[in-house]
Chain A
Amino acid sequence: MTKPALKGTDKIKGLVCRECGKEYPAVSLHVCDMCFGPLEVQYNYKTIKPRLTRKAIEAGPKSLWRYVDLLPIAGDPTVGLAAGFTPLVRAKNLGDELGLDKLYIKNDTVNHPTLSFKDRVVSVALTRARELGYDTVACASTGNLANSVAAHAAAAKMQCYVFIPHDLEASKVLGNLVYRPNVVEVEGNYDDVNRLCSEIAGEHKWAFVNVNIRPYYAEGSKTLAYEVVEQLGWDAPDHIVVPMASGSLLTKIWKGLNEFSKLGLIDRMATKVDGAQAEGCSPIAAAYKLGRDFFKPVKPATIAKSLAIGNPADGYYALKATAESGGAMDTVTDEEIIEGMTLLAQTEGIFAETAGGVTIGVLKKLVKQGLIKRTETTVALITGNGLKTQEAVMNAVGRPTRISPSLVDFQKTFGLGIHER
C-alpha cells in the first residue's frame, strides 16, 4: 500500500517571484505585483522528503503522475491521466554514428494523447485550472500546445479557446479543429496575436495555460527529468541535450534534477544541461556564444516552428541554468535540422519533428567539439512527433521505387537473385 498523496499546502507552499522573492498564495497569478518578475511554484520539501522514496514512486501509476508529490496540484489528478512515462531508448546505432558509448533518446514522440511533450505541461495545467475553479481553458499557439490543450479540454469537458495567426498552415488548423475547440484566427501578424492574447488573458476569467496558469503549467516539464533519472536506474546522466523555445523546458529540467538531488533520490548530480536552438531563431544560444547574460530578441526564420520563439520568456533563466550546470549551447541550420531528423529516423527508427532534428544536430556538434565525451552518459530529449512536420523532410527522403507487378521486375530492380525453395 502506498501512502495517500500529499494534499494542498502540505506540499505547495505557494508562488514566489523569481526576481525579488516576494511570496504569494498558490492562485492563478503569473507576474509579481511588486517587480513584475515571473512567479514559480514553491514546495514544502520538508514534508515531501519523508514520504518520497524511490519505492513509493515506483509503486505509482505508469504516467507522469507517479511524481504527483512534486507537481503543483492540491488534490488528485483529473486531466491527462495517461500522459508521460514515455520510453527512454538506448540509442546504440546513433551512438555509434556520433561516437557515444552511452546515448539515450527520451522519446516523447509517443506521449499521450497528442504526441508531444506538451501533453505533460497541459495535464498539469488543466488539472490545476479545474482546482482553481475554471471551466474554460485557452492558449495561444501555432502547433503542439494548441493540439494538446484542445484534446485535453475535450476529454475533460472544458470550454476551450485556441488563438492562432490567420495564415497558419491548413494541416495545423485541422489538428485543432478536430477536437472542436473555439479556434480563433487573429487577423494580424505574430506580434498582434501575442499582444491580443496577453490582453484577453487579463480581461477574462479563463485559464490561459501559458499566461496566468504558466507557473503550474511549466512545472509539468520537470517530469521529463524525473523519468530520465528513474529510467536510468536512479542515476542522473552526465549530459541532457534540450531543445529551447522559451527556455522554460531547460530551466525545469535543471529544477527537476536539483529537486531529486535535494530529496536524496539520486546519489550524484553532475549533469550538464545543454541547450539546442535553430540558427534561424537562436536568441538564447546566441547570447551564450557571446558570453552575455541577456539576449537580443529576433524575428524567427526557421523550419523548426515549434521552437520559433523570438522573445523567450525564460531565456535569461535558461542561460543561468546552463551556466550553473557547466553545460553548453549551440545552433544548427535548417539543413542540419533535416539531417538530424533523418539520422535519428534511419538509426533508431524514431521519426521526430523538426525540434528533434535541432536536438540531434546540436548533440552531434557538441560531441565533435569534445564538449560531450564518448564515455559520458548522454540523453537527448526528443519532444514531438515527425508526423506533425512532414513537410520539412518531404524533399529529403527520396521517392518510392516504382515497378511493374512482376516478380522478375522486382528482383531485377533490387538486384536480387532467384532463390530456390
Chain B
Amino acid sequence: MAHLRFHLRFPEDKIKQPVLCQINRTFPKVDTNIRRADVREKTGWMDVEFSGDPAEIERAIEGIRQKGVIVDPIELNVVE
C-alpha cells in the first residue's frame, strides 16, 4: 500500500464539479484523504493523500487530470 501526496488545483470553471467524488466511485480501491484545502469563488486547491496500489493511484491521478484538474507534487515546483 502506497501513500502519495498531491496538490490538486481546480481551474475556475471546475470549482463546482464533484471531481474527487467521481474519482472515488471510479477507483474504489484508492482512498483519498483531504488534509488541507482552500476553495473560493475564483480559486480552489486541495492537498490530498492517495492510499492504495501505486499503479491504481497513478490511474486515479490520470483520471483527475482528464477532468481538467491540475495535479502537482505536494512540494509544488521542485525544479529550480
Interface residues of A (CB under 8 A from B): 19, 30-31, 34-37, 139-142, 144-145, 163, 165, 190-191, 193-195, 197-199, 201-202, 208, 210-211, 214, 245-246, 294, 296-297, 309-313
Q: With A36-B5, A198-B74, A296-B43 as given contacts, are A190 and B36 in contact (CB-CB < 8 Å)?
A: no
Whether B76 and A36, one on each chain, are in contact in the complex, defined by CB atoms closer than 8 angstroms, is: no
Across-interface contacts of A34 in B (CB, < 8 A):
35
**In the bound complex, how far is the Cα of B80 from the Cα of A144, in angstroms?**
8
Q: Are B78 and A36 in contact (CB under 8 A)?
A: no
A37 to B38: give the CA distance in the assembly, Å: 13
B47 contacts the other chain (CB 8 A): yes
Q: How far is the CB of A27 from chain B (nearest CB, A)?
A: 17
A19-B36, A311-B72 known; A194 and B80 CB under 8 Å?
no
Closest 7 CB pairs of A and B: A198-B73, A36-B47, A313-B76, A140-B79, A145-B80, A35-B36, A311-B76
User: Are B35 and A36 touching (Cβ within 8 A)?
Assistant: yes
Which of the residues A140, A144, A297 comes within 8 Å of B70, measured between beta carbons?
Answer: A297
Residues in B neighbouring A197, C-beta threshold 8 A: 78-79
* Chain B residues in 8 Å Cβ range of A193: 79
Contact call B47/A140, Cβ cutoff below 8 A: no
Inside 8 A of B73's CB, which chain A residues have their CB? 194-195, 198-199
B35 touching A211, Cβ below 8 Å: no
**Complex interface: chain B residues within 8 A of A195 (CB):** 72-73
Chain A residues with CB under 8 A of B75: 30-31, 198, 201, 211, 214, 313
Q: Which of B4, B5, B76, B80 is most buried by chain A, counting CB atoms within 10 A of its CB?
A: B80
CA distance A201 to B78 in the complex (A): 10
* Interface of chain B: mostly helix, strand, loop or mixed: strand
How many B residues touch A, CB cutoff 8 Å? 20
- A-chain residues with CB within 8 Å of residue B80 when the two chains form the complex: 139-142, 144-145, 210, 245-246, 309
CB distance from B49 to the nearest CB of A (A): 8
CB distance from A103 to the nearest CB of B (A): 28
B77 & A246 in contact (Cβ 8 Å cutoff): yes
Q: Which residues of B contact A141 (CB under 8 A)?
A: 79-80
| B42 CB to nearest A CB, Å | 8
Question: Contact between A309 and B77 (Cβ–Cβ < 8 Å)?
Answer: yes
Give the residues in chain B near A36, CB-CB below 8 Å. Answer: 5, 35-36, 47, 49, 74
Interchain CA distance A194-B6 in the complex, whole Å:
12
- 21 intermolecular pairs with C-beta atoms under 8 Å apart: A30-B75, A31-B74, A36-B5, A36-B47, A36-B74, A37-B36, A144-B80, A145-B80, A194-B72, A194-B77, A194-B79, A198-B74, A211-B78, A246-B77, A294-B43, A297-B9, A309-B77, A309-B79, A311-B72, A311-B76, A313-B76
List 11 extra interface pairs beyond A36-B47, A144-B80, CB under 8 A: A30-B75, A34-B35, A191-B72, A194-B73, A195-B72, A195-B73, A199-B73, A201-B78, A245-B80, A296-B43, A312-B77
Residues of A within 8 A of B74 (CB): 31, 36, 198
Interface string of B40-51 (1 = CB under 8 A from A): 100100010100
A294–B41 Cα distance when bound, in Å, is: 12
A310 touches B35 (CB 8 A): no
A195 to B70, CA, bound (A): 12
A125 to chain B, nearest CB (A): 12
Give the contacting residue for B78; candidates A165, A198, A245; CB below 8 A: A198
The CA-CA distance from A141 to B76 in the complex, in Å, is 14
Bound-state Cα–Cα, A202 to B50, Å: 14
> Given the complex, which residues of B lie within 8 Å of A310, measured CB to CB?
77
A98 to B5, CA, bound (A): 47
A288-B29 Cα distance, complex, nearest whole Å: 42
A297: which B residues are within 8 A, CB to CB?
9, 70, 72
Query: Closest residue to A38 on the B side, CB-wise?
Result: B75
Complex CA distance for A313 and B4, rounded to whole angstroms: 18
What is the minimal beta-carbon distance from B77 to any residue of chain A, in angstroms? 5
A35 in contact with B35 given A198-B75, A198-B78 (CB within 8 Å): yes
Q: A140, B38: Cβ atoms under 8 Å?
A: no
Chain A's closest residue to B80 (CB) is: A145
Which residues of A are found within 8 Å of B78, using beta-carbon distances?
140, 194, 197-198, 201, 208, 210-211
Q: Which residues of B contact A296 (CB under 8 A)?
A: 43
Complex-state Cα separation, A311 to B71, whole angstroms? 11
- Most chain B C-beta atoms within 10 Å of own C-beta, residue among A19, A36, A211, A312: A36
Q: Please report the C-alpha to C-alpha distance between residue A214 and residue B80 in the assembled complex, in whole angstroms.
A: 12
